[in-house]
Amino acid sequence: MNLISIVASKHPVASVMVFKSSQAEVTRYFDVDLKRGRNKITISKLPTTIEKESIRVSMIQKESSNTSLDKSHVNYLSDIVCSPADDPGYDPTRYTLRALELKRSGLESEKRLLDAQAEVMVSYARSLTGEHASLNDIDNFLSTFGERGRKNINEVLAIDEQIATIDEQINEALRKKRLMKGTLNTEVAAVAVADGDMTVQFQLIYIVSNAVWSPNYRLHAVTGEDDKPSRRVALHYQASVKQATGEDWADASLMLSTVATDTLVKKIPRLEPVKAITIVPVSSPSLISQPPLMCRPSSSRYSSPSTTGGRNPSGNDLTHFRVEPDFTNSQKHTAEDDIIALSDDEPWDTVSKHRGRKILPIPTVTQTPMTLTYTVRGNSDIPSDGKEHVVTIVTLDFEADVEYISDPRLDPRVFLQCQVKNTSEYRLLPGPVNVIMDKSYVSRTRLPDVNRNETFDFTLGDDPSIIVLYERSSKVTKEGTKAFADPLDITTYTTTITAHNTHRFAIENIIVRDAVPTSADNHRIKVVLQKPQALIEAKEGVFVEANESRGDDEAKDLMVKWEKEQDGLYEYKWRINAEDKVKFETVFDVKAPSDTKYSLSNFAIQGKTA
């Protein structure tokens, strides 16, 4: 039998597909020269965390081979075995370090030779005297001595430079050795039977653990020549990949999959019959029909009498007590207590445990698992160091709709928010987004799961050229001081918002958000909106004109809507011209009895700008 040994770590990985279940599928190729008859191929130094059941070995005919695998029925694989190696102490950097150390030793020997040559030249020069050599001979020797001396010095410097480079390579190899995560202690053996000498390519595919990936993004936006944010944005779809499998993925084709290998279906599920079963309610026994509780007295000579019963006149040794029901606890029993949830996989024989109670199944939703595969652009280098390595999947160009948004009661700054529609062919998975504006980092947000043709938002930071001032005033009046009327305190709040656009261009869409209080006790505390009047009858989510809220004479284009009416959240939207200043008001009353104290939560002004 022809024995062939292959060290996997000496051959690069061809391709890798990383799954969402901390696993990866690795594909390797090895060129093997087979002899006629039986050939045993042993591939060693494979990751320790290989799943043995996932190993697939196949032979691919090389074009240069004279024998065809397709036409011959004699060429085949058999006896494929995956097992731990006999030598668990394998160090993948050992060969590299040994080669570097041998090279360094050779250079040091060469340097010692040059030093010896220089010493011979110096010794010979010291031996020269006028008695044995003429002046002309001495002059010629000095010329040769200087020339060879300079050459010797240059050669020594070159060797020192090479030794320094090798030292750096040795330190780098040692550093990689320290960073190396995972072990290589698995080998795969297979027997290949060939009907002649040939060269084949072995394909080895296996699944290994300790490899993960997660999506992340970098969004780039720029300012146009008109000082406005450009509508064109570039989204860099990236992935963070880290692995500690024990083998480096050098110059490998990398694919990223949303499949979790631990959820792969083993078989088609089998449906069980579904039956509707009648449940006969059992009424609780009444107080009158409840039998007395029989209790045996303790060994003490005396028994404490019951507060609701007495000694049985029959005079026997048993003491009878009647236990009254706990009406306090029974009052707490609500209709909800009669409803129980029964999971789909709970046996129906448990119904008897819940007699007299309404059974509702637990609602569940199932959805076909999402299966996506992304191919990373170009080949990648992912070492087995357990560190995150960022790779680029694709760069997407989108158009963004820019809005200026402010919540001045909380923060008077005006933020630029962009809304983007995913017009690409890619589904954008949830992940963090770093936003870059004009090559400067401005914010970090998180992208939700975005399908094709869905929209997502992100913030480009704040715009200091739009100044917002938020002010509030209040006054209290009395009502109902006549006889037979409860006196009321009416507090009128007036909120004034001033926005000043110092840009040389108009802002088409500026949005300012605020809230009016909502009452948690409508019987005693009432909130009445006075201004803007258009908001009183407005439907949630629909903009209406609110020109009467403007504090100036040019009441144009001011719109208002309920963002969430039940919570009192609303927002203004309008167009503000270049270097223009706009002021508008919101007025509401809070009515409460004079003897009632109340507070408005989350109503404090946390910042102002002038």
Q: Distance between CA 517 and CA 546 in Å, rounded?
A: 20
What percent of the chain has pLDDT above 70? 76
Contact 40/1 with Cβ under 8 angstroms?
Answer: yes
- What pLDDT sits at residue 429? 93
Contact 165/131 with Cβ under 8 angstroms?
Answer: no
- What pLDDT sits at residue 87? 62
Q: Distance between CA 98 and CA 93 in Å, rounded?
A: 9
pLDDT tens for residues 106-139?
A: 999 988 888 888 888 788 777 766 666 677 777 7
Contact 462/442 with Cβ under 8 angstroms?
Answer: no
**Beta-strand relationship, 569-576 and 507-515:** antiparallel
Q: Which helix (H) or strand (E) holds 176?
A: helix 135-179
How far out from the chain centre does Cα 85 lie? 37
Q: Which helix (H) or strand (E) holds 218?
A: strand 211-221
Q: Average pLDDT of 177-184?
A: 74
pLDDT tens for residues 71-89?
A: 444 577 888 888 887 665 5
Q: Distance between CA 342 and CA 346 in Å, rounded?
A: 6
- What pLDDT sits at residue 268? 78
pLDDT tens for residues 449-476?
A: 999 999 999 898 899 999 999 999 999 9
| Four-point Cα dihedral 262, 264, 266, 271, nearest 10 | 110
Contact 48/183 with Cβ under 8 angstroms?
Answer: yes
Q: Distance between CA 537 and CA 539 in Å, rounded?
A: 7
pLDDT tens for residues 533-584?
A: 889 889 999 999 887 665 554 445 789 999 998 899 999 999 999 999 988 8
pLDDT tens for residues 384-442?
A: 988 999 999 999 999 999 999 999 999 999 999 999 999 999 999 999 999 999 999 98
List CB contacts of 183: < 8 A, sequence separation 6 or more.
47, 48, 88, 90, 246
- What pLDDT sits at residue 267? 75
Query: Residue 406 — left, alpha, or beta (φ > 0 → left; ψ -120 to 50 → alpha)?
Result: beta
Cβ burial of 598 (10 Å; 0-12, 13-18, 19+) is: middle
Determine the Cα angle at 228 with ends 226 and 230, to 5°.
105
- What pLDDT sits at residue 91? 63
Q: Distance between CA 415 and CA 261 in Å, rounded?
A: 43
210 pLDDT more than 50: yes
Nearest Cα to Cα of residue 451 among 428, 431, 432: 428
281 pLDDT more than 50: yes
Query: Is the sign of the CA dihedral 141, 145, 148, 150 positive or negative?
Result: negative
351 pLDDT more than 60: no
56 pLDDT more than 80: yes
Q: What is the DSSP letter of 604?
A: -
Write down the mean pLDDT value for the chain.
80
Q: Average pLDDT of 222-239?
A: 91
Nearest Cα to Cα of residue 199 among 59, 364, 369: 59
Determine the Cα angle at 149 with ends 143 and 154, to 5°.
135
pLDDT tens for residues 315-350?
A: 444 333 333 344 344 444 444 444 344 444 444 444
- What pLDDT sits at residue 74? 53
- What pLDDT sits at residue 408? 94
- Say which CATH class 2-92+182-209 falls into: mainly beta
State the amino acid at position 326 in one-letter form. D
For the entire predicted model, the pTM comes to 0.65
pLDDT tens for residues 283-326?
A: 655 444 444 443 344 444 334 334 344 444 444 443 333 333 44
- Give the pair of three-digit tokens for residue 412: 């008077």
Task: Indicate the range of 208-217, 305-314, 354-363, 511-520 predicted with least confidence.
Answer: 305-314
Contact 321/307 with Cβ under 8 angstroms?
Answer: no
What percent of the chain has pLDDT above 90? 42
pLDDT tens for residues 147-160?
A: 888 888 888 899 99
- What pLDDT sits at residue 521? 81
Q: What is the DSSP letter of 50?
A: B
List CB contacts of 67: < 8 A, sequence separation 6 or more.
61, 75, 194, 195, 196, 197, 198
- What pLDDT sits at residue 572? 93
- What pLDDT sits at residue 530? 93
237 pLDDT more than 90: yes
More confident residue, 358 or 39: 39
Q: Distance between CA 250 and CA 173 in Å, rounded?
A: 15
- Give the pair of three-digit tokens for residue 215: 């999506």
Q: What end-to-end distance do the CA atoms of the chain give, in Å?
A: 91
278 pLDDT more than 90: no
Q: What is the three-class DSSP state of 170? A: helix
